[in-house]
Structure 1
Amino acid sequence: MRLVTVTGEASGDLIAADALRRLSSGAADLELGGIGGDRLRAVGMECWFRSDDLAVRGYAEAVSKLVHILAVRYWLLKYTAKWRPAVYLGVDAPDFNLGVEARLRQQGIRTVHLISPSIWAWRPERILKIKQAVDHMLCIFPFETQVYAGTGVQATYVGHPIADMIPIQPDSQSARRALSLSGSRAVVAVMPGSRQGELRHNGPAFFQAAAALARDCEVVIPAASESMAQQIQRHPEFRRAQQQGVRLLLQQGHDPVSHLALEACDVALVASGTATLEAALWKRPMVIAYRVPQLTYWMMRRRALIHDIGLPNILLGSRVVPELIQSQAQAHALAAAVREWLDHPADAERVRQRFTGLHHDLRRGAAQQIADILLSELEHAGGR
């Protein structure tokens, strides 16, 4: 049996790897190929390209990488048609995966998509493309299956894979010892994003805020990969922050270094995206901030259906943590918002309780559910 899996960023690599590890243990004749990162390679997948080749955020960055992405897409379609997998699993990255899935579905290849596009938040017209592209949508939020009712797309809620990886009760002291943090001062985790474009736009303000906070806090910046660490180290504002005592944490071992940083910290400064949900699952008060090119921001706001951009705020239905977007995301404002949490521990505790409830809601044994569904889909497709 052959399965192609395509992920577009580090979080997708993490989510897919756990599911495919479980799938492989129950399907000895399984062959894995596709686009992924180190974790998918570690579970035996032959990576034809790296996830970094597809990682973009916003219209401007997508345009700058368009030629390369189109070349990857052309090669992937041609090779996959020749390789003839039974199932194609697209993990997130909808702007890339949906087009590929539609073409492969026309060729009789069963398509499964993990992590529904946020059509409930913006660009609802994408449901038309999803209907053409996807046989089975695996949803990670409980309300998403309702979006697909009556569309003809099979949709299953599997829970959020990361919710299963994170303990309900974090052990911050153990994490601090692992990172050699003193424990005598407050710890702040600063996470400006993992993509090159995110670092370019968020980096200056995030690193300046980190330097300001380092005067009386221990500040750590986790790097999800060696390439990300190199990009951060080249940034002049980071080098200045480093002189103030800000530490760059490098990936070591299997567990994501970002998770260790979040478990250790008191407050997180996080760029909008999956990392905001991870911070919530670690029960960490946070400040969400984001900057993109102005054209990208204008187009996104014009097509948005909801006001908030942070997943914790969206899932809890209210603004429980601050969001500083575009011109609001200045270094002094970011540092001040972080200090607000440190100065008001009762507010921080209330947010931790809300996040604990959210964690229970999203914990559903997702990796095993995904593995079981994929095995069923492979067998249904005939195990070509």
Structure 2
Amino acid sequence: MSATPLVVSRTGLVTGVGLDAAASCAAIRGAIDNFQQTAFRDRNGEWIMGCEVALQAPWRGEKKLLAMAARAIGECLEGFDRAACEATPLLLCLAEADRPGRVVRSDAQFLQALQHEMGFDFHQQSSVIAQGHVSAAVALYRARELLDASVASQVLVAASDSLLDGAVLADCEARDRLLTSANSDGFIPGEGAAALLVEPLRAQPWGQLVCRGIGFAVEKAHIDSEEPLRADGLTSAIKQSLREAGCGESILDFKIIDASGGQYVFKEATLAFGRIDRTKRTEFDVWHPADCIGEVGAPVGLAMIAVLKAACEKAYARGDNVLLHMGNDDGKRASMVFSWHFTGG
């Protein structure tokens, strides 16, 4: 049975290549990056490359995460009055609670600080989802539950994170995840924030980006394990999202993934799609926005959705039906099926 469709009506983005969604998506479309030397060095004493968000003040730590989140949320809610904002639940996506060097000390206090930064409190059903890359899918699933229960007429999903932190970089380098002078099979660290406003599908005289299915699974052969990779977890997540969407893989036109560097994610993505693909295709594009914004952590899933929405609205998407998937280092996997949909008004 098909799941309740969920419409992404608005987006907000703060990245190293743009301080709003329009600028960020235009830069990503043009394959423009902002990779520069950071203030951090690797174990060989060489400068680490990164993608930093340039705000009006040189903030660091929680203060910068708050500033980026508030800016992305503000873009998403522009034009709404205070009453509408306070009636909207916020699902705030953050880094995994056990990530070494995690900047946020208390999720509850961070949420309170963000509401103080915004100047109002969100709906009482607001909560924090600290699950890294897969947070976006978890949040959309939760948003769907809130909308189905008529808790609110719209839900805001937001994320903020940064890997430009000494402790985070040291851990990533120790696990050979970071691109350094001694490791070419790694990612470039970044930071950023993203926000989406989601609501139920209604008839409209314009196109709408609809999330039709969401799937979850766990990969035993994750990147830090020693088991042979068969992509069982990601394959299962993709199949579940297709079942929820009530469709087969043949409708998919291209996909967007959270790959940020290193062979593992690309290999896993290829294996997983190869196990479900039964369609003869002449081409099948794979987009990975991290090529421009770096490894941004928790906001990556929302950034992928924002990029997709911009591509559909400006008619440069490779089709109307798209697969998005992402995964955490601990093996958690998530998949989503989106369609650019016209209902008529």
Query: TM-score scaled by structure 2?
Result: 0.28
Structure with higher strand content? 2
**Larger relative contact order (Cα-Cα within 8 Å, sequence gap ≥ 6):** 2
Structure with higher helix content? 1
Query: TM-score scaled by structure 1?
Result: 0.26
